[in-house]
A and B are shown apart, each in its own frame.
Chain A
Amino acid sequence: DAKTTQPTSMDCAEGRAANLPCNHSTISGNEYVYWYRQIHSQGPQYIIHGLKNNETNEMASLIITEDRKSSTLILPHATLRDTAVYYCIVRVAGRDDKIIFGKGTRLHILP
């Protein structure tokens, strides 16, 4: 079973920041938070991951709360191409091979 809870769906206006929340209240100290997305009819795409500190790359920013029980993925300037299902995953990187996907959040970017 997935160890994360995400809203089923969200809307965001094009050009605005999309903030996708994720709860992982039972996360262990050695578990990382990963985000993937799946655009319709494509394979999942890695976005970003982090352990404790906030992370940023060319796609997104990841904000992890101090107690690590929740996190937020931020797409700073959403475009229509960001419409996808976004999966928040916790895993022990370095030991667990498998990724356990939950239901994810279906993000709709509105023109």
Chain B
Amino acid sequence: DTAVSQTPKYLVTQMGNDKSIKCEQNLGHDTMYWYKQDSKKFLKIMFSYNNKELIINETVPNRFSPKSPDKAHLNLHINSLELGDSAVYFCASSHPPGRAATDTQYFGPGTRLTVL
């Protein structure tokens, strides 16, 4: 009954590598998001996609590229990984911004990325 799932749960890699994190939701939502939670536990939005179209890009380096093959998936590809990219990345989904009753965001379990 997983609603929002992410793979992998843990990712350890060397600086300079390229890696991807996958996200899938089975809630029938049109809008998906990526958030980053750093070592100080601050959660910040990175991107949002509505029906495969980029809506929000919060001043994220070009090394981060989200890709949405369909409404149920939003993957995050990171090029040339840096030490500062180490964080927990959360995917979320919701109905499109509309009535307050329906646009609640549901989060995945997170992917802990460690860059060595």
**What's the tally of chain B residues with a CB closer than 8 Å to chain A?**
27
Contact across chains for A45 and B99 when beta carbons are under 8 A apart: no
With A43-B109, A43-B110, A46-B104 known to touch, is A97 a contact of B48 (CB < 8 Å)? yes
CB distance from A73 to the nearest CB of B (A): 15
Given A43-B110, A101-B42, check contact A93 B56 (CB 8 Å): no
Any A CB within 8 A of the CB of B105:
yes
Q: What total of chain A residues lie within 8 Å of the partner, measured CB to CB?
A: 23
Given A41-B110, A44-B107, A49-B100, the answer on whether A98 and B43 have CB atoms closer than 8 Å is: no
Among B41, B42, B58, point to the contact of A98 (Cβ < 8 A): B58
Residues of B55-84 at the interface with A, using a CB-CB cut-off of 8 Å, are: 55-56, 58
The SS class assigned to the A binding surface is loop
Complex CA distance for A100 and B55, rounded to whole angstroms:
16
Residues of B within 8 A of A (CB): 4, 31, 33, 41-45, 48, 50, 55-56, 58, 90, 92, 97-100, 103-110
